[in-house]
Amino acid sequence: MELEKQIESIGRSSNGLFGKDFLLTWEKSRDDLLTTLRVARVLKEMREQNISPRVFDTGLAVSNFRDKSTRTRFSFASASNLLGLAVQDLDEEKSQISHGETVRETANMISFLSDFVGIRDDMFLGEGNKYMREVAESLDEGFARGVLPVRPGVINLQCDLDHPTQSMADLMHLESQFGSLENLRGKKIVMSWAYSPSYGKPLSVPQGIIALMSRFGMQIELAYPEGYGLIPDITEMAEKQAVESGGSFSISHSMEEAMAGADIVYPKSWAPFHIMEERTRLLLGGDKKGLQELEVQCLANNARHKDWEYDEAKMRLTKSQDALYMHCLPADISGVSCKEGEVNAEVFEKYRVRTYLEAGFKPYIIAAMMFTQRFERPAEILEGILNRDRCRVFGE
Q: Is residue 304 classed exposed, middle or buried when 0-12, 13-18 and 19+ CB atoms within 10 A define those classes?
A: exposed
| 358-392 residue pLDDT tens | 999 999 999 999 999 999 999 999 999 999 989 99
Average pLDDT over residues 225-231: 97
Write down the pLDDT at residue 108: 96
Q: Check: CB of residue 125 under 8 Å from CB of residue 279.
A: yes
Residue 396 in this model has a pLDDT that exceeds 80: no
φ and ψ of 246, to 5 deg: 90, 10
Q: Are residues 125 and 24 part of one domain?
A: yes
Write down the pLDDT at residue 92: 84
DSSP code of 215? T
Q: Check: CB of residue 24 under 8 Å from CB of residue 161.
A: yes
The model's pTM = 0.96
Average pLDDT over residues 31-43: 97
Q: Check: CB of residue 245 under 8 Å from CB of residue 220.
A: no
Q: Are residues 137 and 74 part of one domain?
A: yes
Select the more confidently predicted residue: 205 or 320: 205
Is residue 394 a part of any domain in this protein? no
Q: Are residues 182 and 130 part of one domain?
A: no
Write down the pLDDT at residue 98: 67
How far is it, in rounded angstroms, from Cα 277 to Cα 264?
30
Q: Are residues 307 and 258 part of one domain?
A: yes
Q: Are residues 187 and 315 part of one domain?
A: yes
Q: Check: CB of residue 152 under 8 Å from CB of residue 142.
A: no
Residue 323 in this model has a pLDDT that exceeds 70: yes
Q: What is the CATH number of the domain that holds 352?
A: 3.40.50.1370
Average pLDDT over residues 164-187: 98
What band does 394 get if pLDDT is binned at 50, 70 and 90? confident
Angle at 72 between CA 71 and CA 76, to 5 degrees: 120
Q: Are residues 232 and 93 part of one domain?
A: no
Select the more confidently predicted residue: 209 or 67: 209
Is residue 81 a part of any domain in this protein? yes
Average pLDDT over residues 72-86: 98
Number of structural domains in the chain: 2
Write down the pLDDT at residue 133: 98
Instruction: Tell me what percent of the residues of the chain surpass a pLDDT of 70.
Output: 99
Write down the pLDDT at residue 149: 97
Is residue 133 a part of any domain in this protein? yes
- The neighbouring-strand residues paired with 88 are 62
Is residue 395 a part of any domain in this protein? no
Write down the pLDDT at residue 177: 97
Write down the pLDDT at residue 200: 80
Q: Are residues 32 and 134 part of one domain?
A: yes
Select the more confidently predicted residue: 324 or 98: 324
Using left for φ > 0, alpha for ψ between -120 and 50, and beta otherwise, residue 360 falls in alpha
Q: Are residues 379 and 319 part of one domain?
A: no
Is residue 123 a part of any domain in this protein? yes
Q: Are residues 186 and 297 part of one domain?
A: yes
Residue 321 in this model has a pLDDT that exceeds 80: yes
Write down the pLDDT at residue 1: 60
Residue 261 in this model has a pLDDT that exceeds 80: yes
Is residue 396 a part of any domain in this protein? no
Write down the pLDDT at residue 96: 79
Q: Are residues 231 and 137 part of one domain?
A: no
Is residue 121 a part of any domain in this protein? yes
Domain holding 349, by residue range, is 166-359
What band does 12 get if pLDDT is binned at 50, 70 and 90? confident
For the chain, give the number of residues. 396
Q: Are residues 75 and 64 part of one domain?
A: yes
Angle at 153 between CA 150 and CA 154, to 5 degrees: 140
Is residue 275 a part of any domain in this protein? yes
What band does 227 get if pLDDT is binned at 50, 70 and 90? very high
Q: Check: CB of residue 304 under 8 Å from CB of residue 297.
A: no
Write down the pLDDT at residue 13: 82
Q: Are residues 188 and 44 part of one domain?
A: no
Average pLDDT over residues 301-327: 97
Write down the pLDDT at residue 95: 79
Residue 166 in this model has a pLDDT that exceeds 90: yes
**Taking all residues of the chain, what is their mean pLDDT, rounded to a whole number?**
95
